[in-house]
Amino acid sequence: MKKTLNVAPHALVIAVLLIGATVAHAGRSCEQRPLTPQTLTQGLELAQRTAQALDAEFARSGARVVVLGRAGQDLSKYQLRYSHLGWAYKTPEGPWRVLHKLNQCGTATGSIYRQGLGEFFLDDLWRHEAVWSVPAPQLQAPLYALLNDRGRSLRLHERDYNMVAYAWGTRYQQSNQWAIETMAMAAEPGVTTRAQAQAWLGFKGYQPSTLRLGPLKRLGASAGSAHIRFDDHPNEKRFSDRIETVTVDSVLDWLARSGLGSAPQRLAL
């Protein structure tokens, strides 16, 4: 399904029902649950209201690109509010689209998806809330050009997926990590590798979140999930229970702190 919000509601409902089981996820549980009418209604309402808010931002500032996040699962025990982000951009036809990375459920691989806002928010969300940051004016044009270039937008994508990938490593890559590494490539023309993108992010002051995960929790997570690994984290950090990874909250904090983006704006049902 590649539908946007300008599609007739009944057509979107039919398309969703035809999908069946969800095949990809990021920042939410991989547990298979049927799509209920309430979930469908809430997801579409959140998508519509988000589209209206982004259209208002476009009319006010001309911004055609935002970092868009969602709350797919409860991460409050890690002091985190959001779980997954992507790049939303306004198409010449009018609707907003989202370019983001998703993990294939039950596997250790990920792919890049280009979806409408309806699809982005139709997951079984933990909380029906959207959050976004508007990149600085000087980043708008290069980000917009990159997001619409199918070749360049995939250049820094690594298929080997790890939900808690080390923020400064290149062995694996998780969804939020792909998003900010791709931003680095858009902002700095000389960036052509993931290592260079991470160097740029460090130079600009990005700081990942540090999750406190003890050995038993790490063992249980990695043994039961193909998409969770800790072997890319430096031993001195891993064995002191410090797992540094890219989170939505850390990205939003960094964008506002560095002046590379606006303060987070939120919309909740």
Contact status, residue 26 vs residue 70, Cβ threshold 8 Å? no
Amino acid letter, residue 223: A
- How many domains is the chain partitioned into structurally? 1
What is the pLDDT, as a whole number, of residue 2?
33
What is the pLDDT, as a whole number, of residue 64?
98
Interval 205-263: pLDDT, tens = 999 999 988 775 665 565 557 889 999 999 999 899 999 999 999 999 999 999 999 99
36: containing domain: 9-268
What is the pLDDT, as a whole number, of residue 24?
56
Residue 164 lies in a domain: yes
d(CA 136, CA 180): 14
The crossing angle, in degrees rounded to 10, of helices 137-147 and 175-187 is 110
Going by the DSSP 8-state scheme, the letter that residue 28 receives in this structure is S
What is the pLDDT, as a whole number, of residue 159?
97
What is the pLDDT, as a whole number, of residue 1?
31
Residue 103 lies in a domain: yes
pTM (2 decimals)? 0.87
Structural element, H or E, at residue 66: strand 65-71
Q: How many CA atoms lie within 13 A of 86 on its CB side?
A: 28
Give the CA distances from residue 22 to residues 124, 163, 267, in Å, rounded to whole numbers and listed in that order: 10, 18, 25
Residue 2 lies in a domain: no
Residues of the chain with pLDDT under 70: 1-33, 216-224
Residue 3 lies in a domain: no
What is the pLDDT, as a whole number, of residue 38?
86
Residue 240 lies in a domain: yes
Residue 104 lies in a domain: yes
Amino acid letter, residue 224: G
Residue 177 lies in a domain: yes
What is the pLDDT, as a whole number, of residue 19?
35
Residue 4 lies in a domain: no
Q: Looking at the chain, list the stretches that DSSP marks H as alpha helix, in order from N- to C-terminal side.
A: 9-19, 37-61, 117-120, 137-147, 175-187, 194-203, 215-224, 235-238, 248-258
